Amino acid sequence: MARLFDAYIMVDWSAASKPATGPNSIWIGILAKDARLKLQFKAVNVDTRLKARAFLEDMVARLTRRGDRVLLGFDFSLGYPAGTAAALGLDTTTQAPWAAMHAHLASKLKDKADNSNARFAIAAGMNYAISKGPYPFWGAPARDVVSTLASTKPDFAGRPLPEFRIVESYLREKKIGQPKSVWQLAYTGSVGSQSLTGIPHVHALRAAWPNARIWPFETGVEPMTAETLDGIDVVIAEIYPSQIASSAPKGEILDEVQVREIARHYSELDEKGRLGEAFSTGKSLDEGKNEQIQAEEGWILGI
């Protein structure tokens, strides 16, 4: 069985507020064919988000020009809990809630060349639009605490937006992992700032690639096949590197190891003809939840 993809690029994102390399910075793992058509891996450590986007745009362009189909994974949430776009008052009459949210964040959050941005102020503004108070975003450092953004978690009980997306609740219930909420912007294990800073760049990359699609928003929640990929050069997906147990040998950085191992994982599934199944979110979810996943929340590839 032929592979669905020819190259696998995995991105370990960072919300660092200044240029940084090494641990907890941006690592991009590329598993692609060499001149002898053998899959080879290399990792690139990039110090700012703007440089990372430029690198990805160039790398993917080179791969697709030679006829490769690329799987591009990002390790942050590509969506928010169902109802977020409506709670913000975004116009969803001509676009899906996920697309409205991507466009909204892209219009608000602008990274500067020094990697700085106003993400905490933007989160505080969204909290004001949603609740007029410090909900649902939380986790501000002391210097960024304001009346609409606190350092501590608000009470989610009985509130219109849940603490977790469906996929995060699924992971927790199945004891596959303990993912943090997309609303949490700081402190150990948080991913909220990665999503706030990452989605605008995904939005820009998607706009730059007419033949790209973001899964599952633009492709559906059923298993992927060669037929459904016809005419598509790039599939952008959310990944969860922690689903693959990995540790860093002496002299290696864990972030680099994780992008290598998750790229190899998807490649091995593809070689065995099983990667298409990994794109399905409908294994044990009802139709209503799958509709929310495709319209706004997103899902993690392979869960």
Q: What is the mean pLDDT of residues 111-133?
A: 98
The verdict on residue 151 lying in a domain is yes
* pLDDT on residue 44: 98
Query: Within a domain: residue 19?
Result: no
pLDDT: which is higher, 188 or 80: 80
The count of other CB atoms within 10 Å of the CB of residue 115 is 21
Quickly tell me which residue has 């891996």 as its tokens: 41
> Does 249 fall in a domain?
no
Helix axes 192-208, 97-108, angle to 10 degrees: 100
Q: Would 168 be classed as within a structural domain? A: yes
Note down the domain range covering 170. Answer: 45-60+78-210
pLDDT (0 to 100) of residue 150: 98
Please say if the pLDDT value at position 282 is more than 70: no
Number of domains into which the chain is organized = 1
pLDDT tens track for 243-260 = 887 777 777 899 999 999
100 inside domain:
yes
Per-residue pLDDT reduced to its tens digit, 165-207: 999 999 999 898 899 999 999 998 899 999 999 999 999 999 9
* pLDDT at residue 219, as a whole number: 96
CB 26 within 8 A of CB 11: yes
Token digits of residue 126: 């969204």
Mean pLDDT score of the chain: 95
Question: What are the tens digits of pLDDT across the range 142-155?
Answer: 999 999 999 999 99
Instruction: Provide the pLDDT for residue 281.
Output: 83
Decide if 246 is inside a domain: no
Q: Provide the pLDDT for residue 176.
A: 87
